[in-house]
Structure 1
């Protein structure tokens, strides 16, 4: 019906001014440590062949069994909106032969992801993540670097009230030995059919069950950390020793199970104490068999996904985002058509010199334009009219102190 407002679908996260500036700041803080460590951008499609996720993520996971947005396209192909980033990144590495070049392959990516979840604070059907992957070497030092990059991102935002949980899910031998005893334990539990089916696919999933009765039932279950092979134990001990050397605090959490089946070995999660039930702000781990499962070489990899939405919520909860960090350098008010020509030229020159500049557009009075300048949050304001054009100088007003100084138009870039 004409005139009826159309709203965004339920459960999506949107960012509009002025909060979008905070979102952008948080995202850049999470990306920059990866850039500084030599990781390169990989831009990926938001939809993939459904089989990529059923094979790569795991059919026993809630992500695949309950939460994927899957549809049949016009070519009768099953397509899924990406619920996470690693499977698509691995597919691209294999498809483009990056694994046959210099190793490790180090890439970063960011964007929107999609899960058909029950919307609540910090849990969205469309959400944003920053991720990295280091593919090709099974080196505990890389594990430590990946964790350190995530930690540096959160610290760059200013977060303090979070912890790092870490564990090891071991190698194939470790998991096989543990699985035997875990299945025996599970067989002694009184479970519903759906839970039995999940356990048959991957018994570790029961550690991730949020129901209180399942938490109690699994309290005495055998832990994978007690079944680690010597090689897996030594690898994990090296990872923790590197974290100790880097001064990164962590807590061992042998019951932690990430929501994706491809994880092996080092596994970790960052948890924020002020976010309630949706406290995870990011996590990741090693995935030794994923590339081979997706048709590639037998290469190991490790990566993470950091939640931009939740990191922003955590920063707001801690009160660490200072609005003065997002102000424009200059707000220019033109008086008259001839002044507008000069203002457009001047703004272009200043922006080319890395200065953020806003212009007062529209036929408004000087008083109204000054109000707009004040609301914009710009650090300085100038007015350009016939007098300023003739004298080639302006009054540069500091919006915080109210003090004005006379400067030539040509020297504005230095004055700012």
Structure 2
């Protein structure tokens, strides 16, 4: 038997959760002026080496990279931002000026050890805004993420930080490297990061490294006046809009092109605290990929992680929809015609088989249906239908010509 590759997962029974998440994300992003973009899943490897960074684990360890039949060095996209930036530059939008806002969703690929909530093929939703340097857009991006999570009913903690700007970062990096070079007990990954991207050390999960880093200098204490003013303004905007947050001075995005705002929404609904949505400002990325200098800010969220959280909410969700059935096979035409009218307004599941009421009710209950509708001999004689609300257990016979009115209550 041929099975799915390790770390690749079919979305079948929980497909409605996937659809619900994407539709929610699209609706919120659209209301903030973001438009849909789709980029190829296969790109030149150089895009991610330059866009994500050679020092990152994604490029160093996790890419699905290979040479195609024409000898091109290609890989399956490990994240979405770089491809959107490539498209932005390729279509010369960096030269056109103005503000452009995009949202995307789809498969991403990373070759890492599969584990709970982490697969080799996974799905992300993300937004990217180009050409807007105002901290108000940083706040709007955070508000979009907050609104999505609120609509989905997912409880999170928002953590924010500032990574400074071109004036702040070089001075801070020098201080951090001086501090780290004195520490001999850092893990091997951190020792390597000192040479490639020292900011990533702050994100290390090794307990010994975390103990050492308690005394490390912090970027938030080394901000330029512009960066500090923007960070203060961001906090002011969030506070005035009722968004609670924590300032985490060790929160980093880890790549050289990030600057100023960095943020993550953290959830503990699936065990240990983990980020379900994260982003920030990346004003250097378009330039890194040979485009004209362009402001950029955005975020990405992991769809599977949100699906896992929502699946735990299932028992708390209200029943929904209608189950329509008949006790005699000769009434199937009747309920089928009725279903056509009902589906103009409601979600309807219909059974094409005649079964006992108990068997029909069991099926409806397993489908988490709210309204059970059934026609038998008595109902057929009197132009009625048997109605039962599986949520509050109310049941009665009602006239067919009154059905829409009853269902609309």
Q: Give TM-score scaled by structure 1 length.
A: 0.86
Q: Compare 374-383 and 63-72 and name the one that shifted more.
A: 374-383
| CA drift at 1:199 | 2.1
1:324 aligns with 2:315: no
Residue in structure 1 matching 2:397, options 394, 405, 408: 405
Gaps of 5+ in 1: none
Q: Choose 387-396 or 23-32, whichever is displaced more.
A: 387-396
Q: CA 1:398/1:220 → structure 2, altered by over 3 Å: closer, same or farther?
A: closer
Higher relative contact order, structure no. (Cα contacts within 8 Å, ≥ 6 residues apart): 1
* Distance in structure 1 (CA, Å) of the matches to 2:248 and 2:6: 34
Structure 1 residues 273 and 363: CA distance shift in structure 2, 3 A: closer
Q: Provide the C-alpha distance between the structure 1 equivalents of 2:171 and 2:82, rounded to a whole number of angstroms.
A: 27
Structure 2 partner of 1:346: 338
Aligned partner of 1:57 in structure 2 is 52
Deviation per CA, 1:305-361: give whole Å up to 9, x if none: 1222223434556x4863325x22342448436x444544433333233x1111113
CA shift digits 1:351-406 (9 cap, x unpaired): 233x1111113465665444323433322233357887786553334334251232
1:144-194, Cα deviation, whole Å (9 max, x unpaired): 11111111122222233x211111111122111112222222332326765
Q: Secondary structure at the match of 1:184?
A: helix
Helix, strand or coil at the partner of 1:348: helix
Residue aligned with 2:286, SS: helix
Give the counterpart of 1:212 among 198, 207, 212: 207
Deviates more, 1:7-16 or 1:217-226: 7-16
Report the equivalent of 2:12: 16
RMSD: 2.9
| Count of matched residue pairs | 405
Shift of 1:56: 0.7
| Residues 384 and 397 in structure 2, CA contact (< 8 A), matched pair in contact too | no
Q: Deviations over 1:82-120 (max 9, x none)?
A: 221111122222233455667421222222222222233
Within-5 A mapping of 1:48-197: 48-99=43-94, 103-160=98-155, 162-190=156-184, 195-197=190-192
2:369 pairs with 1:378: yes
Provide TM-score, normalisation by structure 2.
0.87
Q: C-alpha separation between the residues in 2 aligned to 1:106 and 1:9?
A: 35
Pair 1:360 & 2:354 matched: no
Per-residue Cα deviation, 1:53-78 (whole angstroms, up to 9, x for no partner): 11111111111111112122222222
Any gaps of 5 or more consecutive residues in structure 2? none
State the alpha-carbon separation in 2 of the partners of residues 230 and 87 from structure 1.
Answer: 30
